[in-house]
Amino acid sequence: MKILTLGAAGFIGSHLTHRLLREGHTVVAVDLTSEKVAEYLDHPSLTFLQQDIRCPEWNLDSLVRDADLVIDLIAYANPGLYLRIPLEVFRLNFTENLKIAESCVRHGKRLIQFSTCEVYGRTAASLPHAHLADPEDPIHATFSEDTSEYILGPVSKHRWIYSSAKQLLERVLHAYGLEQGFNYTIIRPFNFIGPKIDFLPQAKEDIPRVFSFFMDALLNGTTMKLVNGGVNRRCYTYIDDAVECTYRIVENRNGACDRQIFNIGSPYNEVSIRQMAETMRQIYAEKFRDDATPLPQIVSVPGEEFYGEGYDDSDRRIPDIAKARRLLGWEPKWSFPETLEATMRYYVTESRKNRVPSAVGNG
């Protein structure tokens, strides 16, 4: 197939681009920068276009018209941005992505739209007057694509603008499917991690995603900060598992993915943010530690101090992957410790490879 991939040089996009090329597809890749796909730029089946999709003059329609399949990964997916630039988060995640979807509608092209597990919001157990018999029962935190209710925070907690923008885009795609037979598949990722998740070290003004923040702290001996004590829980998914499931959606055998929504995640890899920090520090000490760099302290900080006013978060989210099992025959393989060690190894290797040698001799 000839596949148009938007956001092709991001974390997920770069790994997916590699898989698509390996499987023999022709890929037209669009992104702001090419660093994460630099090793593939000379591939004869890849055309890379450095482009900001917000530019009104770019040739979206002709690229969609010439493609057999469109994959849209474009998003602001960083909690620090949801609070700092909420309007731009909404514009990119809804308005600009809707233009892509509507071009696919016009030209009758199938669209794979990456959404987010943040559409689910918080669990019923997080509500102050829930009075659940067992708030710790995983059933309260397990989200299914077609049946789960959504619980988001109030408007003043504007962190939820990302979740709301993605949810609204999903609902519009669903409406186009109902009214015009538009063929789409929506993917809800559950906390993918792996090599290339973020650039390290981060610029001082950036607030990276949690793995990247902790990894930067380990490499540089700075503090590992736990927002509100790090009690919130997540299920982490290794990027190889995620790409395998995504590729089965690309194949779409017997049309099994037509107008479907899929959770992609590892339900058995649930840990708290505190557990993640402690496990990363332990793995680093055992496998990668440079004696010249001290192990960082782990401290708790208030959410609004770390992120800013308007912070809120989901307390827990576990993916129900029964649909992916049933329709795609997919099952995640990577355990949480394996996922962390493989991802950390990449950044330790990159850090040491790029380290400037000392100019001082040994005498």
**pLDDT tens, position by position, for the chain (363 residues)?**
999 999 999 999 999 999 999 999 999 999 999 999 999 999 999 999 999 999 988 899 999 999 999 999 999 988 888 999 999 999 999 999 999 999 999 999 999 999 999 999 999 999 988 889 999 999 999 999 999 999 999 999 999 999 999 999 999 999 999 999 999 999 999 999 999 998 665 554 556 689 999 999 999 899 999 999 999 999 999 999 999 999 999 999 999 999 999 999 999 999 999 999 999 999 999 999 887 788 999 999 999 888 888 899 999 999 999 999 999 999 999 999 999 999 999 999 988 887 644 333 333
pTM for this entry: 0.94
* Active-site hit among 40, 162, 284, 307: 162
Q: 212-222 burial by CB neighbour count: b if 16+ within 10 A, else e?
A: bbbbbbbbeee
DSSP helix, strand, coil percent of the chain (3-state; round to 5): 45, 15, 40
Domain architecture of the chain: domains with CATH:
75-349 (3.40.50.720)
Q: Establish whether 238 is a catalytic residue.
A: no
* pLDDT, position 234: 97
Element (H, E) at 322: helix 322-328
